[in-house]
Chains A and B, each alone.
Chain A
Amino acid sequence: MNARTHTPPLIRLDAQGLYCTAGDFWIDPWRPVPRAVVTHAHADHLRQGHGQYTVARPGLGLARARLPDDASVTGLDYGEALQINGVRVSLHPAGHVLGSAQVRVEHRGEVWVVSGDYKLAADATCAPFEPLRCHTFISECTFGLPVYRWPEPSVIGARINTLWREAAAEGVPLLVGAYALGKAQRILSLIDPTIGPIGLHGAVDALTTVYRESGVTLPATLPVAGQARGHDWAGALIIAPPSALNGTWARRFGAAPRVVASGWMTVRGARRRRGVDAGVVLSDHADWDGLLTAIDATGAQQVLLTHGHTAPLVRVLQQRGIDAGTLRTEFAGEDGSDAEAEADASP
């Protein structure tokens, strides 16, 4: 059993979210609170209505774009320390999307790290994941089964290029469904822009502009909405949220092949449920090996898991002598998450 039972945990779950008792602030809260430290700008982590937001400085642009103009948002450099009611708080790269952070919380020598969402794989659009030592690690667990193992990003880039060239040879565009924040820009950084023009769905276009304004270099793109109705998209790469692929918006592209980029595409059944022509295994979350590597690197004695189906990983960690458990957060992908959940709601 847990030896710390007589002292309250440094971070616990309350109705608002992950609450730091000693510091009186919340991390990624889902109900309005006076003070929020936010790991990244995805909708299930960054919500409206809080009094004050602290985010990593590279993610300031994205946070501002997603919050009302009058929201009070402060940027904190990666590694820079902030004292909140005697608790030392710092943000460290999570490698998930632009400006994504792990939150390191230190109080009277005890260190907790809240991972937010993270991945270990290379991503040219954000700073790489930084391993941190801690006593307790609150880790995401979106892909917590050993069947989820990601191919090298370069292999995925080459696969998209191949599909794109094939479509171009047939005189049609290739439609790629990818989450508008992060995944879409990562794809832009992976593909070969000399193959043809690139068109973006409005949601993707708006966030891509923020990425560029934040200093990320990406190939030239066209907003689909900005082109004349009869615009010829033959040979183009079109990036849109997955939910737009089968809707009226995508009708203008006719019978063009549709591809979804998501970690769930590992499984054939998920590809089939999506009804797409191909699945590309590309995720901004850690795969199974990534989760184990990251958790090992923390040296944490206690590991609490959020997101997804956590039981298998909890069991494996317990077998390794780690005090592992599940935190029932309201981050998306919580219950039996599936292709739809990740592709549309929880990137």
Chain B
Amino acid sequence: MITIPYLTALTTYFSYGLLFAFGQFREFFRKIFDWWRGSNLQGYAPICLGLEDFYIRRLYLRIQDCFGRPICSPPDAWFDVVERVSNDNNKTLKRTTQVSRCLNLGSYNYLGFAASDEYCTPRVIESLKKYSASTCSARVDGGTTSIHMELEECVANFVGKPAAIVTGMGYVTNSAILPVLIGKGGLIISDSLNHNSIVNGARGSGATIRVFQHNTPSHLEKVLRELIAEGQPRTHRPWKKIIVIVEGIYSMEGELCQLPEIVAICKKYKVYVYLDEAHSIGAVGKTGRGVCELLGVDTADVDIMMGTFTKSFGSCGGYIAGSKELIEYLKYSCPAHLYATSISPPAAQQIISAIKVILGEDGTSRGAQKLARIRENSNFFRSELQKMGFEVLGDNDSPVMPIMIYNPAKIPAFSRECLKHNVAVVIVGFPATPLLLARARICISAAHSREDLNKALEVFSEVGDLTGIKYFPAEPQKQQVEENRVKLE
């Protein structure tokens, strides 16, 4: 639940109104020019729709430089950001040869495996020599090498499930596996803020989709009761099966899933739980085994556990872990297993090595140190930000922390000012978030040292004052401020 001051809400609306009106003005003239020049479509319908185009031309292009900044080094704690220039009011950006070394608070490099690692990198290169960079074949054909078998075993072991299946991309894992599990006559109940890959997978499945209020078990129960009682639309037959889909850590909110409550409800109503641990696997929990470990949920109670390797493990790909039968069935029918090129062997080796480091199987305690570090770093950074008066979302222990910005003009201002001080942050606005709730997102890594974090805090404090996003200026008044707010979900 986010609360927002009336004044901020008003100014934010006003700013968007302004942007919109300006946009319409310019669009009006553009249309006149277009008409003047005549249509060059020759009977084809325009390839991009007006609405999408308007958003890109009139809102996104203005702040384009804050997104997609190229880097030319691994996304470690510090990285080299390539500077870009624009000669046409931000319409196009050109890369220059200049780079600036910036503190990286944007990459999902939670455990610091993105850069070369003394244990992982030599093994990865060895696997490249032995297995080449790709297999050019699907897993069921000739795309299964011994590394793939080892990886699946290793992942199943790490996650705490009997078996696992690995695909080459996290997004595809969600969007290609949901349709296999459920189809017409089934019901998917999804958290309102679930990732786009889940949404697409659910749509592709043909099942009925309902959402429950973000991370609210009581609402989930209410929705479940109503829907089970109602049955399928039109026919009112009972549902074939119901799957509840939640994420471990919500990447835009930094919140931990209320898993114990949700799992309890799902057990009570005999529905299946699908847990997407993209951001939590490896990043939280005493031995890095994700939210189940952190919140004390038995993995046997979660039917389908999904996660990705692009975050904590610094590789690519995704997995599904579950019962032996589930995995066998998926291997028989999942398109990502049957048609897609199998995960690149060096990337697979990276994951195996990273898991070994995390579990201490490399013979050092580096994994445990990394886990302790990320936890300390996150909690330290979060509490310091709060002390400074920023509005920080999310729970303790979560390495993702969004800082609320609200006003559209402050979005690029915050990002640009931080970059000037050599701190790279991610900003997110409409349409990825609701219109009002634009934010900056900080991802803490175990690779950050205390000095790095202190520097970041210093810069944030300064830029925060400059842009006026310290919405809770002084600690003691917080309560009072809270009363004066509109409540938003």
Whether chain B is bound by chain A comes out as no
